[in-house]
Amino acid sequence: MNLTENTSDYEEYWTYDLSEDLLKTQHILTITLICVGVAAIIPNLLFILSLTQVRDRDSAFHRFMLSLSVSDVLGSITFIVIMKCPPGFLGEIDYVFRSTPWMFFTGYLLTLSCLTWNQHIAVCKPLSYNQVVTRKKVSATLIYIWLISSLQIILPFLVNVALSMYSNEVDPVPLLEQVSVVEMHIWMVVFIFSILYNIFVNLLIYYRLEHLRRKHSTSRYSHDSSNIVKKQHAFVTVLLLLLASIFCRLPFPLANIVGLSIADQRDQEDQIILQPSLYLLIFGNFLVDPIIYFTRMKDVRKGLQNLVGKCLYNV
C-alpha cells in the first residue's frame, strides 16, 4: 500500500512539473509571437510608405503588392490583439472580431492568385495586356477580393444578429463556435485551391519564359531580351512569395487534416505547443514578405531612400 501510494504521488509530481513546463513554454512562445508580429508590422508599413514614392505605383503589379502588404499588417495587428485579449472580452460579438484574421488571410491568398494571373497575362499574352489589365479592372478585382474576404466576418455577424432577434433565451455561443470552425475550414479550402492554382500557373509562366529566353538568346542586349529579364525578375519575386506562403501556412491545414485540429484539442501538450508553433509560422510569413519586397524590388528601395531623405530634410 505504501509503495502504491508513493508511486501515485510520484506520478502526480511529474505530471505537475510537466504541466508547469508546458505552461512556461507556452508563455515563451506567446511572447515570441507578439515580438515577431510587431516586428512584421514595421517593415510592411515602410513598404506601403515606400510605394508612394514609386513612379509607376499605379501599375497592377504594385497595387497587388500593396494589397498583400496591407493584409499582412492588418492580419498581424488583429492576431496580436486577439492573443492579448481573453476569450469573450467583447461578449457575443467576440466571435465576429476573432474572425478578422481569417478575412485578411483569405484576402492575401486571393490577392496572390490575382498577382500570379497578372504575371501570366504579362508573359503569355503581352500583346493584349493593356486591354485585359486596366486600372479599372484592377480596382474592381481588389474590391471583389475584399468583399469576398469580408464574408468571413459577415457570416458570424449575421448569425449573431439572427439569434438575438429570434430569441433572447437561445445561447448563441455554441453555434458561433461551430461557425468559427467552419470559417477556418473554408480558409483551408481556399488556401489549398489557391496554392494549386498558383503552382500550375507559375509552371506555365516558367515554361513560357524559358521559351522566350531561348528564342532571344542570340540578342542579349536587345529590347526584347531586356523585357524578358524584367519579366523573369518579377516572376521570381512572385514565386518567392508563393514559396514563403506555402512553407509558413501549409502546416496549419496539414495539422488539421491529420487530426491535430487546434480548434478542438484534447491533448494538453498539443494544445500548448502545436498551436503557438503554427501561429509563429504565420507571423513569420508576415515578416518574410517585406524582406522579399525590399530585396527584389529596386524601385521600392529607391522609394524608401527618397522617403528617408525627405524625413531627414524636414528634421
Chain segment 110-150, per-residue pLDDT in tens: 999 999 999 999 998 888 888 889 999 999 999 999 998 88
Which residue, among 123, 141, 256, 98, has the nearest Cα to 191 in the 3D structure? 256
The model carries a pTM of 0.81
Q: Could you give the domains of the chain? A: 2-304 (1.20.1070.10)
Q: In the structure, what pLDDT confidence band is assigned to residue 313 with cuts at 50, 70 and 90?
A: confident
Q: In the predicted model, is pLDDT for residue 175 greater than 80?
A: no
The chain-wide mean pLDDT, for the chain, equals 78
Cell of 160: 449573431
Contact 124, 205 (CB under 8 A): yes
Cell of 307: 522617403
Q: Dihedral, CA atoms, 101, 103, 107, 109, nearest 10 degrees?
A: 70
Q: In the predicted model, is pLDDT for residue 314 greater than 80?
A: no
pLDDT in tens, 20-61: 666 677 677 778 888 888 888 999 999 999 998 888 888 999
Q: In the predicted model, is pLDDT for residue 268 greater than 80?
A: no
Contact 66, 51 (CB under 8 A): yes
pLDDT at 76: 87
Which residue, among 147, 245, 129, has the nearest Cα to 196 in the 3D structure? 245
Residues in the chain: 315
Distance CA 79, CA 12 (A): 36
Position 177, amino acid: E
Q: How far is CA 267 from CA 86, 183, 270, in A?
A: 21, 23, 5
Q: In the predicted model, is pLDDT for residue 152 greater than 70?
A: yes
